[in-house]
């Protein structure tokens, strides 16, 4: 048995490591989960709560028991929310590597290793955290910044201690005691309570550092690079590298960016400041560095290493994390960060299509927001930025919307020529050209078909002798003309000189220009024409309203996919208003009702909900988390009223092919109970007219019920909503009301005009 195990081991090791090695950075695909879905993701929160609750010892004080029960309740539901947020990965290449490192760290303690589950988080922040149940989460933002495997091992050791010492639940119970003013916390002021909370948290962090170091020292990892961990924490606000931004990155023969758009000197990175520890939940980084270095200074290391899995595996995991950060920033609408992150990576692989497309999409996003006067929603003030990346923020701040539109179009158009079959680039370039014409172009004369150098040459006198022959006023005219030609002010005019020689560019440009002219002509119509048009429009509107009243939207859709229909039950009268247990069971019931109503409405519905996965449904799970994030991103664009094209067209097409529909529904319900207003007054009056008293009592003791329901159906190929139903129902959400509302949604989707 033993021999077979050892024979199999190298093969298993290779297989376990294989997903990481399989990643092709030239054709990079963002990280996603694979394999079997872990039980952590499938287990119901209510089950988890019951399981955790059973661990509370009988002999504990009743206050502690109560606090722990509340903690387990909140924690199990919030944890599930986090696991299903789309940010947590499992069995992904980076996660596999992190688990391999955890194996090395806990080689001496297999029992503890069995209890720990490591997951990678798709988040750019430099952070890691552990839960009470043994889940350890490492952000990609942290992995992207690390220098060695041993640093990752130390961070894991720190998090393992949080789990081992039950820090999360202890912190919660202590916080409850502080809030309630129990024991030593009696009669503390608000500030003192905050201070006490922070002090306790710092104690736990110090314990995690020191005990984590003990775990780390038991492993074969070297302590040589541990100092660097604190540098990573110190400068976590900076990108993973600090490299000057070259203006030539965006420039080409006919696109020269004005030097005034670039800072002569970027703001240098500020040295570490003395932190005010009292306001922090962690000890200061200097202090932590101090006591850790103290402890390890006496260590003698002979056989210890910086890499136990392998340096290559670490570098690949870090590279994957850095590549993934670009798409994470993009999804978070942090376009400048995505741009600079991709710029840094492109220096190593200049022709990388994935990175170039991230740059293109970042430019597209910035342009669209700038065109709608919402630039500041996606822009960070360059003065808040330190280091070389400041140049990028400064450049985008200086570029006027028209210039940004032109620069973005130029970059994307050239990329489209490089990758002619790329549908996403086609859509983006087309949309940017349309925006440029509609928003910033009055006529074709706005853009030159001749290069700046040619025009300047033509405007100058042939030689010095003929220049001298000009009179005073001709010389002034000449000078002014040259001034007007200054490319710093008009560099945009010459950007598309070479593109106007291309048939498809000129055709598209002319098409959008003529559409714009037609629209302008409409505005210049006579009074009579206007009257006729308005009358026709009114008639059409009335007809549409009539049909809408009778049939609703009547979209004639045969199939939709419901993504994450959720249900929250809230009781505002209580201190902890969210009723987690009731919410979960209501959500399960809602899923059933959705399917029943779909059947009644003869609408085919696929449910991608929180509770619709088994352990083998990893594809479904990936689709679910992708769509959740996609909806969130679209909602932000909708809220900002920025008409963005779909930036994930390839994944969207795959979804359409997989589910056989392009209609995806996002819906939710919130059931709120509130205290009735004026209940006392009603009681008083009904007591006077005493036969009515029973009614008054009933009024006073029953809450006010309100239900909020929304349902949005998107055509995911265009990214636009085709159906919107947002309702406020001032009643208790009984089963009949819910069914009626859901059926009504399905009916309108299914019904043909």
Partner 1 sequence: MKRNLYSLIIVLFTFAGTLQAQPGYQGRKWSVQGNLMFLPALTNASYGREPGLTTFNITGEATVDYVLSRRTSVGLSYRRIRTSNINDYGVSGVSKTKVFSNAYGIHYRIYKRKNGNIAPLGKYFQWGAGAMFNQVKKPEKSSKPVDFKTYSFRMGAGRNRILYDRLILSYGWEFGYMFTGLKRDGLVGATYYYKDDAQTMAQYRLWRHSLLNLKVGLGFLAY
Least spacing, CB of residue 537 vs partner 1, in Å: 25
Contact pattern for partner 1 over residues 422 through 451, marking x by CB under 8 A: ------------------------------
Q: Interface with partner 1 includes 247 (CB under 8 A)?
A: no
Stretch of residues binding partner 1 (CB under 8 A), selected from 504-512, 548-556, 576-584, 654-662: 548-556
- Report, in Å, the least distance between residue 379 CB and partner 1: 39
Q: Is 555 in the site for partner 1 (CB under 8 A)?
A: no
At 454, list the tokens.
Answer: 């040619």
Which pairing describes strands 559-571 and 604-608: parallel, antiparallel, or unpaired? Answer: parallel
Binding flag, residue 727, partner 1 (CB under 8 A): yes
Residue 620 or 750: the one with the smaller Cβ distance to partner 1 is 750
Single residue of 6, 473, 690, 728 touching partner 1 by CB under 8 A = 728
Position among 522, 600, 658, 675 found at the interface with partner 1 (CB under 8 A) = 600
Stretch that binds partner 1, among 173-181, 246-254, 261-269, 543-551 (CB under 8 A): 543-551
With CB under 8 A as the contact rule, which of the stretches 469-477, 562-570, 621-629, 738-746 interacts with partner 1?
738-746
Q: Does 735 bind partner 1 (CB under 8 A)?
A: yes
Establish if 591 lies at the interface with partner 1 (CB under 8 A). no
d(CA 668, CA 725): 11
Nearer to partner 1, 151 or 597 (CB): 597
740 CB-side CA count, 13 A: 7
> Which residues pair with residue 724 across a beta bridge?
712
Spatial distance between the Cα atoms of 162 and 115, rounded to a whole number of angstroms: 13
Q: Which is nearer to partner 1, 96 or 562 (CB)?
A: 562
Alpha-carbon distance 175 to 193, whole Å? 9
The two three-digit tokens of residue 533, written as one number? 């048009």
Q: Does the footprint of partner 1 cover residue 550 (CB under 8 A)?
A: yes
Region binding partner 1 by CB under 8 A among candidate stretches 51-59, 219-227, 633-641, 742-750: 742-750
**Beta carbon of residue 582, minimum distance to partner 1 (angstroms, whole number):** 20
Q: Does residue 308 belong to the site contacting partner 1 (CB under 8 A)?
A: no
Single out the residue of 283, 712, 741, 749 in contact with partner 1 (rule: CB under 8 A): 741
597 forms part of the interface with partner 1 (CB under 8 A): yes
Q: Smaller CB distance to partner 1: residue 588 or 679?
A: 588
Burial code of 162-173, b = ≥16 C-beta within 10 A, e = fewer?
A: bbbeebbbbbbb
Size of the site for partner 1 (CB under 8 A): 25
Structure tokens belonging to residue 554: 């009547």
379 binds partner 1 (CB under 8 A): no
Distance CA 422, CA 502 (A): 18
Nearer to partner 1, 549 or 677 (CB): 549
Comparison of 405 and 741: residue with beta carbon closer to partner 1: 741
* CA–CA gap between residue 568 and residue 587 (Å, rounded): 8
Q: Which is nearer to partner 1, 168 or 729 (CB)?
A: 729
* Least distance (Å) between residue 749 CB and partner 1: 12
Contact between 314 and partner 1 by CB under 8 A: the answer reads no
- Token pair of 439 as six digits: 């928003």
Q: Nearer to partner 1 by C-beta: 451 or 729?
A: 729
Query: Is the Cβ of residue 491 or residue 747 nearer to partner 1 in the bound state?
Result: 747
Q: Which is nearer to partner 1, 281 or 739 (CB)?
A: 739
- Figure out which of the listed residues 223, 499, 707, 711 binds partner 1, where binding follows CB under 8 A: 707
Handedness of CA 238, 239, 242, 246 (dihedral sign): negative
Instruction: Tell me whether residue 119 or residue 743 sits nearer to partner 1 (CB atom).
Output: 743
Q: Among candidates 614, 611, 588, which has minimal Cα distance to 669?
A: 588
Please state the three-class secondary structure of 110-164 as a single string: HHHHHHCEEEEECCCCCCEEECCCCEEEEEHHHHCCCCCHHHHHHHHHHHHHHHH
Helices (H), 524-663: 527-551, 580-600, 618-640, 649-659
Break the chain down into helix, strand, coil percent, rounded to 5.
60, 10, 30
* Cβ neighbours for 433, distance < 8 A, ≥ 6 positions apart: 409, 413, 505, 508, 509, 512
Q: How many helices (H) and strands (E) does the chain have?
A: 30, 9
First to last CA, the chain: 69
d(CA 704, CA 676): 5
Residue from 274, 276, 483, 736 that binds partner 1 (CB under 8 A)?
Answer: 736
- Return the number of the residue (58 or 735) whose C-beta is nearest partner 1: 735
Residues β-bridged to residue 136: 118, 130
Nearer to partner 1, 57 or 726 (CB): 726
- Give the residue carrying structure tokens 């758009």: 261
135-139 vs 128-130, strand pairing mode: antiparallel
Rounded (10°) angle between helices 649-659 and 618-640: 130
Among 31, 314, 731, 749, binds partner 1 (CB under 8 A): 731
User: Does residue 734 touch partner 1 according to CB under 8 A?
Assistant: yes
Task: Return the range that interacts with partner 1 (CB under 8 A); candidates 137-145, 370-378, 615-623, 729-737.
Answer: 729-737
* Least distance between partner 1 and beta carbon 577 (Å): 23
Sheet containing strand 88-89, strands side by side: 88-89, 117-121, 135-139, 128-130
Min dist CB 733 to partner 1, Å, is 8
SS3 call for 739: helix
Q: Looking up tokens 């049909």, which residue turns up?
A: 547
> Considering the rule CB under 8 A, would residue 594 count as an interface residue with partner 1?
no
Q: Which element (helix H / strand E) includes 173?
A: helix 167-180
Question: For residues 416 and 280, what is the distance between their CA atoms, to the nearest angstrom?
Answer: 49
For residue 438, the minimal CB distance to partner 1 (Å) is: 38
Instruction: Find the part of the chain contacting partner 1 (CB under 8 A) among 376-384, 391-399, 416-424, 725-733.
Output: 725-733
> Among 576, 463, 590, 437, which residue's Cα sits nearest to residue 515?
437
Question: Measured from the CB of residue 610, what is the shortest distance to partner 1 in angstroms?
Answer: 24
Side-chain half-sphere CA neighbours of 211 within 13 A: 15
Closest to 120 (Cα-Cα) out of 148, 142, 145, 105: 142
Interaction of residue 551 with partner 1, rule CB under 8 A: yes
Among 255, 320, 743, 749, binds partner 1 (CB under 8 A): 743
3-state secondary structure of 342: helix
What are φ and ψ of residue 388, in 5° steps? Answer: -65, -30
- The residue among 355 and 601 lying less far from partner 1, judged by its C-beta, is 601
> In whole angstroms, how close is the CB of 567 to partner 1 at the nearest point?
15
- Among 252, 383, 520, 740, which residue interacts with partner 1 (rule: CB under 8 A)? 740
Contact 438, 516 (CB under 8 A): yes
Give me the least distance between CB of 397 and partner 1, in Å please. 45
Minimum gap (Å) between residue 47 Cβ and partner 1: 28
Among 195, 451, 582, 729, binds partner 1 (CB under 8 A): 729
Q: How far is the CB of 557 from partner 1 (least distance, A)?
A: 15
- In b/e form, how buried is each residue of 699-710, taking b as 16+ CB within 10 angstroms? ebeeebbbbbbe
Q: How far is the CB of 664 from partner 1 (least distance, A)?
A: 22
Per-residue contact flags (x/-) with partner 1 for residues 493 to 532, judged by CB under 8 A: ----------------------------------------
744 binds partner 1 (CB under 8 A): yes
Considering beta carbons, is residue 354 or 747 the nearer one to partner 1? 747
Residues at the contact surface with partner 1, assessed by CB under 8 A: 549-551, 596-597, 600-601, 707, 709, 727-731, 734-737, 739-741, 743-744, 747, 751
């Amino acid at each position: 048995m033993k021999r077979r195990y050892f024979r199999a081991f190298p093969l298993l090791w290779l297989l376990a490591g294989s997903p990481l090695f399989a990643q092709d950075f030239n054709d990079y695909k963002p990280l996603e989960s694979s394999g079997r879905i872990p039980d952590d993701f499938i287990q119901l929160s209510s089950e988890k709560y019951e399981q955790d609750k059973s661990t509370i010892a009988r002999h504990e004080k009743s206050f502690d028991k109560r606090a722990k029960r509340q903690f387990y309740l909140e924690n199990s539901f919030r944890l599930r929310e986090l696991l299903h947020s789309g940010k947590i990965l499992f069995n992904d290449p980076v996660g596999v590597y992190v688990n391999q490192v955890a194996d090395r760290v806990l080689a001496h303690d297999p029992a503890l290793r069995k209890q720990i589950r490591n997951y990678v988080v798709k988040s750019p922040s430099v952070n890691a955290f552990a839960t009470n149940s043994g889940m350890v989460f490492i952000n990609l933002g942290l992995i992207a910044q690390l220098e060695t495997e041993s640093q990752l091992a130390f961070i894991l050791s720190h998090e393992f201690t949080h789990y081992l010492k039950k820090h999360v639940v202890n912190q919660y119970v202590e916080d409850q005691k502080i809030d309630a003013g129990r024991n030593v916390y009696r009669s503390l002021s608000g500030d003192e309570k905050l201070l006490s909370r922070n002090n306790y948290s710092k104690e736990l962090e110090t314990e995690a550092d020191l005990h984590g170091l003990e775990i780390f020292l038991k492993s074969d990892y070297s302590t040589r690079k541990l100092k660097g961990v604190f540098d990573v924490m110190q400068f976590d606000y900076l990108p993973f590298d600090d490299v000057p931004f070259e203006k030539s990155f965006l420039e080409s023969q006919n696109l020269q960016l004005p030097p005034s758009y670039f800072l002569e000197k970027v703001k240098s990175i500020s040295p570490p400041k003395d932190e005010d520890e009292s306001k922090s939940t962690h000890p200061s980084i200097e202090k932590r560095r101090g006591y850790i270095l103290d402890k390890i200074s006496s260590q003698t290391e002979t056989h210890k290493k910086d890499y136990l899995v392998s340096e290559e595996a670490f570098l690949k995991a870090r590279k994957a994390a850095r590549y993934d950060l670009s798409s994470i920033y993009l999804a978070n609408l942090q376009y400048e960060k995505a741009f600079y992150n991709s710029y840094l990576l492109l220096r190593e692989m200049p022709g990388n299509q994935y990175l170039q497309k991230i740059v293109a999409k970042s430019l597209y996003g910035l342009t669209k927001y700038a065109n709608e006067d919402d630039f500041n929603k996606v822009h960070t003030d360059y003065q808040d930025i330190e280091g070389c990346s400041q140049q990028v923020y400064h450049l985008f701040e200086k570029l006027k919307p028209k210039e940004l539109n032109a620069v973005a179009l130029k970059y994307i158009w050239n990329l489209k020529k490089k990758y002619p079959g790329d549908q996403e680039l086609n859509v983006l370039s087309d949309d940017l050209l349309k925006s440029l014409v509609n928003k910033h172009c009055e006529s074709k004369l706005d853009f030159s078909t001749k290069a700046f150098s040619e025009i300047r040459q033509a405007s100058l006198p042939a030689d010095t002798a003929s220049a001298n022959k000009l009179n005073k006023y001709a010389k002034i005219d000449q000078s002014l003309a040259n001034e007007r030609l200054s490319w710093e002010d008009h560099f945009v005019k010459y950007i598309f000189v070479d593109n106007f020689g291309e048939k498809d560019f000129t055709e598209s440009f002319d098409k959008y220009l003529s559409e714009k002219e037609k629209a302008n002509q409409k505005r210049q119509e006579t009074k009579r024409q206007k009257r006729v048009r308005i009358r026709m429009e009114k008639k059409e509107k009335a007809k549409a309203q009539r049909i809408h009243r009778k049939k609703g939207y009547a979209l004639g859709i045969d199939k939709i996919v419901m993504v994450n229909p959720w249900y929250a039950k809230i009781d505002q009268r209580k201190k902890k208003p969210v009723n987690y247990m009731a919410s979960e069971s209501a959500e399960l019931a809602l899923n059933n009702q959705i399917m029943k109503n779909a059947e009644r409405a003869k609408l085919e519905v696929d449910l991608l909900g929180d509770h619709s996965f088994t352990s083998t449904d990893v594809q479904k799970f990936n689709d679910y988390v992708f769509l959740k994030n996609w909806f969130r991103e679209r909602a932000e664009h909708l809220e900002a009223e920025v008409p963005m094209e779909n930036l994930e067209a390839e994944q969207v097409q795959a979804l359409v092919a997989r589910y056989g529909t392009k209609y995806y529904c996002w819906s939710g319900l919130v059931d709120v109970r509130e205290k009735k207003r004026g209940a006392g007054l009603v009681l008083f009056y009904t007591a006077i007219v005493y036969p009515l008293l029973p009614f008054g009592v009933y009024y006073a003791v029953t809450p006010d019920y309100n239900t909020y329901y929304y349902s949005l159906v998107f055509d995911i190929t265009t990214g636009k909503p085709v159906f919107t139903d947002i309702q406020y129902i001032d009643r208790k959400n009984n089963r009949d009301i819910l069914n009626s509302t859901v059926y009504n949604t399905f009916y309108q989707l299914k019904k043909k005009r």
